A and B are shown apart, each in its own frame.
Chain A
């Protein structure tokens, strides 16, 4: 008993340390967003101060963050939907149909994620300007989808491989077409996987900076690029950075909490087989 209690205490201490390391930056971010310029630089740091929404207001009045949030949202949601539709169909085919060289195809799909993304930025930029897609939301959706697809294919493939094929065979014997067996039986059962990949796709597109920075200018500018713009040669607007940063985190948090149950199941379910 004594030994168990000691272990429990140690476990709590470790969890506590991890939580502090993880949550402190967020706390810092939120507190900074509510401080005046003077309070931000106060030493020692102030934890008790009179909060202000000045930073939030100026982000949307002095700066143009509303269209950027709109862009981010449109691009992220479109990317997530497109990646899921294309990726899931591809994953299902790789899991269920014997294709010549299917193992190689799977590996090749994954290998597209292996080189550093910066290598791709310049070619993407040149291609985009040549076809006249530079600084468009459409371009960003295409670019992000190419990055999300390998990921969707690999997670969903292992999901489908773990589903007994007999279920779909039973559906076909029960009078359903090949497509219905996928749509009405296999897909609903892989919902946890779909949720997990959807969230991860969304987070990737929502936070992506490098490509957005190079491939957008004004029309399709996303929030991360906008935040970078707050670092100017004259001043660094810490208050506004914190305010926009806080708003940037919120949708992801809501998304993740809402689907927490599925994510945990999804991550463990898919992780068993490679």
Chain B
């Protein structure tokens, strides 16, 4: 077990720059989820840490020791690949025993057998040990890949979208299992995913990565409640955050926030945040779950029309139309709305996320 420190890491493939100056510190025993869309550089980052891809610039420290020049075997990390990368000509047992048979470890035969069996039992794949990996289902393969990582006691676990290719039900179950395993082993772990649920649900901290750059590092709560920029706000949440273009205007000694669907007075606290930043144009973000609906008009509510509703059990996704803008609301399934019905929506002003129009940065971080 060890901590991990990444300092100004760059990775270029020819003309393509995959990682642009990554800085990251992961404490001993922590599970850090790396969240980003495909092509963000997640795999490049993990493979650079594992040492299977050479880095262009930067330093990587594992357990306080610089590992830039060390071979993957010397770094003593274990990795689950997105493709699982199981050896197709070997049985489950041979796959899991392979790391233990390496010249770096050279364990006795009985010891190897004992460790593989114990790990297989924990993952409930001990009945598959003699099977060839080509005979296994996706979920079983995934467990074997996990098993191959867990038979060792490495410095780091690196998991590259380990459950992305499984069906939704299985994915949910394995999410819990992997988190539980990590808590049991207390091994420092990096876990990449493009699914914000996985990232927020599993990570002690979440790193949001896009186009090779770290956009935000924070606890799941921070990422959800205080997205550092428009991209992070849009990435986290389902249905995604609604965005409107907004304008800040002064009128008769009052400051207003004007958007195509509502107009409101900017309160004292928020004005203090905006003050002195000479912002005129902003992007306004509002989560579907932060909007409430009412049938009767009252002060502070804004009018909209029901465009369509999607009942999803306990709640429903209500799409609203106001003027030309469409936006979504996540609302309890107790009310039945008709298409075209006039409703009134509102929200608490502190749920508004304001982003600078030019840079996309959250005004709170400006």
Contact = CB atoms under 8 A, between A and B. Distances in A.
B81 A166 contact: yes
Interface stretch (A1-9, A104-112, A169-177, A229-237): A169-177
Interface string B69-93: 0011100111101110101110000
Nearest to A164: B83
Contacts of B14: 98
A189 interface: yes
Interface string A24-36: 0000000000000
A163 to B, nearest CB: 10
B313 interface: no
Contacts, number: 63
Contact of B72 (A166, A167, A172, A188): A172
Given A177-B71, A185-B87, A189-B88, A170 B103 contact: no
Interface in A180-204: 180, 185, 188-189
Contacts of B246: none
B99 A175 contact: yes
A166 B88 contact: no
B81 to A, nearest CB: 5
Interface string B93-119: 000001100111100000000000000
B103 A164 contact: no
Interface in A129-180: 164, 166-167, 169-178, 180
A166 to B, nearest CB: 4
A172 B75 CA distance: 10
Contacts of A166: 81-83, 85
Give the interface size class of chain A.
Answer: 10 to 19
Interface residues of B, number: 26
Contacts of B194: none
Nearest to A175: B102
B83 A174 contact: no
B87 A172 contact: no
A81 B71 CA distance: 32
B339 to A, nearest CB: 49
A164 B85 contact: yes
A153 B14 CA distance: 25
Contacts of B99: 174-175
A167 B78 CA distance: 14
B85 A170 contact: yes
B78 A173 contact: yes
A173 B77 contact: yes
Interface of A: 98, 164, 166-167, 169-178, 180, 185, 188-189
Given A98-B14, A167-B88, A180-B103, 5 more contacts: A169-B85, A170-B85, A170-B87, A172-B71, A174-B98
